[in-house]
Amino acid sequence: MRFAVFASGNGSNFEAILKAVKRNEISAELVCLFSDKSTSYAVQRAKDNGVPYFILEKESKQTKEEYETKLVYLMKKEKVDCVVLAGYMRILGKTFLTAYPNRVINIHPSLLPNFPGKYGIKDAFDRGVKKTGITIHQVDDGIDTGPIIFQKEIETKDFKTLEELEEKIHELEHKYYPIVIEEFVRELMTE
């Protein structure tokens, strides 16, 4: 089983996944990092760790379908079987998801369906909800929708500032995403 990580930003989850791969905690091969942004720090982390990486920036005249057709071609060429999104900021559409049915998962820093979108941690903090957490889910073509695979809750009252809460959420992400990825790839291996 061969998987790729897609990231657009900092890439701390990518690094946590990479460490788990190196510790043999994930029984699939990490083929590459893919990014839609050449400037993303995730790309730097791939370079620093000798992980193959690919960058495809979407051209403004390109349709989503054209962009994803190229992406599918690239992933198939690399013999990627499944995909793990880790801060990938594009919404995958039908072209990609049809090529990888039930083979893409995502992590989100809130208890979905609450607070989807870019600011999951801040939105929950500002709303003053009692509980927040992380969600790992199968990806469909909506924004942070798709069947939920895993959630971990925490009490927001334990965190005085948004920064403290963010730190805790990221710690949970780094701990649980590799574990859920391992379950995900193992299940695919039985198909």
Among 32, 86, 139, 181, binds ligand GRF (CB under 6 A): 86
Find, among 165, 164, 161, the residue nearest to 131 by Cα: 165
Pick from 111, 118, 155, 156: which is nearest to 137 by CA?
Answer: 111
The active-site residue, picked from 108, 137, 170, 174, is 108
Is 89 among the annotated ligand-binding positions?
yes
Query: Which parts of 88-139 are beta strand (E)?
Result: 104-108, 131-138
Q: Is the dihedral of CA 18, 20, 22, 28 positive or negative?
A: negative
Query: Which residue stretch of 4-12, 23-31, 43-51, 71-79 sits at the interface with ligand GRF (rule: CB under 6 A)?
Result: 4-12
Cβ atoms of 178 and 20 within 8 Å: the answer is yes
49 binds ligand GRF (CB under 6 A): no
Is 174 one of the catalytic residues? no
Binding ligand GRF (rule: CB under 6 A), the pick from 137, 173, 176, 181 is 173
By the rule CB under 6 A, 7 interacts with ligand GRF: yes
Q: What are the binding residues for (6R)-10-formyltetrahydrofolate?
A: 64, 89-92, 106
Q: Catalytic site residues?
A: 108
